[in-house]
Structure 1
Amino acid sequence: MRVLLVLDHPYTLASAENVPHRRSFTAAVAAAAVRGATAAGHEVDVIDLAADGFSPVMTREDLVAWRRGAVVDPLVGDYQRRLLAADHLVFAFPVWWEAMPAGTKGFLDRVLTKGVVFAERPGAKGNPFRNLMPRLGGVTVLSVMTTPDKAYRWWYRDPLTKILFRGTFGKIGVGNLRWVNFDRVAGKTPEQRRRLLDATEKRFAALAPGRGGASARKGPLARGSSLTHSGT
């Protein structure tokens, strides 16, 4: 199975090691997922948005091309080719102001181009979109936050899943959607963080070679356990 992991953190994947002032728990989680999936024999492709210098801004030229089912940015075209080749998609990012960083939102805006990854069905009753990513069997979101998980789900009404699942991939028609949230990061001890990273590695080592992975459940939203390295 081909796993595409999209990392969105300014420190890049190079910050996965626990080096003071040069570390990111988000990057450590992404690295653990890569280790686990690789150990299971999957092919893992990593898009490191910050390392690539990806711009989240939809320019006028981008929007004109988007409406025509085309792209003007070679990096966006490269991301689309890699996305279309993926069997499972993973996002890893910190939660800032209760939502994803700009890079992830820009990935949705600029990479998910009409006519490339989805098609519109004019006059359709119900969902007006058709999925053009037949290989993509599931999406996993790995989010890192300082907000308590219960507060995020019940007070803020988990905007992440509304945007990424209900408003994007679920709308397109991708199933097996899983959210794994690492909450209250700053309060975790080094041992607690290590256990969380071990659990993440095991989670991705358990991915089956079928579409979406063995651990993914059917339905519009399958939530992982609430988990949570100092700093996002």
Structure 2
Amino acid sequence: MNISVILGHPYPYSFNAAIAATTVQALKEQGHTIRFHDLCREQFNPVLPDTELISDVPEDALTALHQQEIREADGIVIIHPNWWGQPPAIMKGWIDRVLREEVAYTFPKGDNGGGLPIGLLKAKAALVFNTSNTPEERERNVFGDPLERIWKDCIFAFCGVHVFERKMFHIIAASTPDIRAKWLEEVRETVRSFFPLESEPR
């Protein structure tokens, strides 16, 4: 399977980066083809130009590459921290510029965009890893876990990907090396079970 792995975190030694490295390694061990992008390291431009908004044609080669790869992906893994109940700006810009109409979704003929979308992504499954400094109970009961709704319903279901799992690791600021090691093992096992060996059916 072709798996797209997208990391959105500015610090190269963050726990998010460790999650990404663990994810990529686990996928390689399962025999998958990985297309990994660290958005900050490759200086992805998150700002959607007005001309690109109108034309739906990417203005730079990197965005065009991302669109091509997400079209071809059999699976998608997204990794980013929880900032204000949202993805970081660079990840939000990736959504805006890459998951465009006629790339990730479309509408029936004659529909001006107000009806039900038709998902175009061929990906069979999507996995999201997030980190947070908010306790899990507060995240769920006070804030309503907005990242779950954003990725599961507003993005992946909209684009036709309905097999979805998300894991949030709390509380990063108070975590010890032992706790992080256990979390990374959880990442490894989640990736392996979610994207089995190429020879095994999912």
User: TM over 0.5: same fold?
Assistant: yes
| 1:49 maps to 2:39 | yes
The equivalent residue for 1:100 is 87
Deviation, 1:107, is 1.1
Are the aligned partners of 1:161 and 1:179 in contact in 2 as well (CA < 8 Å)?
A: yes
Rounded Cα–Cα distance in structure 1 between residues aligned with 2:145 and 2:92? 16
The equivalent residue for 1:31 is 21
Task: Choose the corresponding residue for 1:174, options 153, 157, 161.
Answer: 161
Identity of aligned residues (%): 29
Which string of whole-angstrom CA distances, capped at 9 and with x for unpartnered residues, describes residues 162-206 of structure 1? 222211211222111111111111112111111111221122233
Count of matched residue pairs: 197
Deviation, 1:71, is 2.1
Rounded Cα–Cα distance in structure 2 between residues aligned with 1:34 and 1:197? 12
Structure 2 CA distance for partners of 1:166 and 1:127, relative to 1, 3 Å: farther
Deviation, 1:111, is 0.6
Task: Choose the corresponding residue for 1:151, options 138, 157, 175.
Answer: 138
The residue type equivalent to 1:93 in the other structure is H
The equivalent residue for 1:229 is none
Are the aligned partners of 1:127 and 1:171 in contact in 2 as well (CA < 8 Å)?
A: no
The equivalent residue for 2:116 is 128
Rounded Cα–Cα distance in structure 2 between residues aligned with 1:153 and 1:127? 30
**Scaled by the length of structure 1, what TM-score is found?**
0.79
Are the aligned partners of 2:120 and 2:160 in contact in 1 as well (CA < 8 Å)?
A: no
Which string of whole-angstrom CA distances, capped at 9 and with x for unpartnered residues, describes residues 93-143 of structure 1? 11112211011111111111112221112459x962112222x11111100
Are the aligned partners of 2:119 and 2:157 in contact in 1 as well (CA < 8 Å)?
A: no
The equivalent residue for 1:3 is 3
Task: Choose the corresponding residue for 1:193, options 180, 183, 193.
Answer: 180
Task: Choose the corresponding residue for 2:149, options 162, 180, 193.
Answer: 162
The residue type equivalent to 1:9 in the other structure is H
* Poorly superposed stretches of 4+, deviation over 3 Å: none
Gaps of 5+ in 1: 16-22, 215-232
Rounded Cα–Cα distance in structure 2 between residues aligned with 1:76 and 1:26? 22
Q: Secondary structure at the match of 1:41?
A: coil
> In angstroms, what is the RMSD of aligned CA positions?
1.9
The equivalent residue for 1:18 is none
Are the aligned partners of 1:76 and 1:111 in contact in 2 as well (CA < 8 Å)?
A: yes
Rounded Cα–Cα distance in structure 1 between residues aligned with 2:135 and 2:99? 31
Gaps of 5+ in 2: none
Rounded Cα–Cα distance in structure 2 between residues aligned with 1:54 and 1:175? 27
Q: Secondary structure at the match of 2:152?
A: helix
The residue type equivalent to 1:25 in the other structure is F
Q: Secondary structure at the match of 1:146?
A: coil
Are the aligned partners of 2:105 and 2:158 in contact in 1 as well (CA < 8 Å)?
A: no
| 1:86 maps to 2:76 | no
| 1:76 maps to 2:66 | no
